[in-house]
Structure 1
């Protein structure tokens, strides 16, 4: 997908303020049984076509509204992913603004997960 220059600038600004990790690291954390909340931040139609096993759905449009019900502790370790890592970067920046201290965006997103051949839940 070709993204607009203004959108990419916004994402780059967010990335300068947040922590990111990659698909391989998230996979290793899941395999090791590390405790964290994995949030799928894509559209509901994307989620319905498949998602990372163990993820919960909180789309970009509802994340900030509903996060406190799912994760009331601001120190909860949270990894957010989207399709490629752009929307999740914006979402993680907002979660930080809300006071969450251990939030990470998964660069590469669901696309990177699929390309790596990892399991997909439906």
Structure 2
């Protein structure tokens, strides 16, 4: 029973970690390389989807809080469904009574795919925000 609880906690941790990657990609900076963005009208929805800063020296200006960069939208489209699938499969794997190899293989594959996509988007963030220091 303790192993199942630990597996569920780890699955939720990975979901939140990969979701934070999408939030970080969504932060808009006017002097970044890719200047395209979409505006989210609902402020609470924008707070959920867009990070206010991506590091100690890269903060989003207050008038850009509701602007989501196109890179962030692409990251949500690529990472979001696979991340949600990994969460569902991970919880199903944890609560199932029998050791289902198919669910374990699906979970490992989906976490690996999301991990590779996150590494790609981390590189994209570093390239995109190279000149965006606030200090």
Band the TM-score falls in, shorter-chain normalisation: under 0.3
Between Structure 1 and Structure 2, which shows a larger proportion of strand residues?
1
Give TM-score, length-normalised by structure 1.
0.25
Between Structure 1 and Structure 2, which shows a larger proportion of helix residues?
2
Specify the structure having the higher radius of gyration (Cα): 2
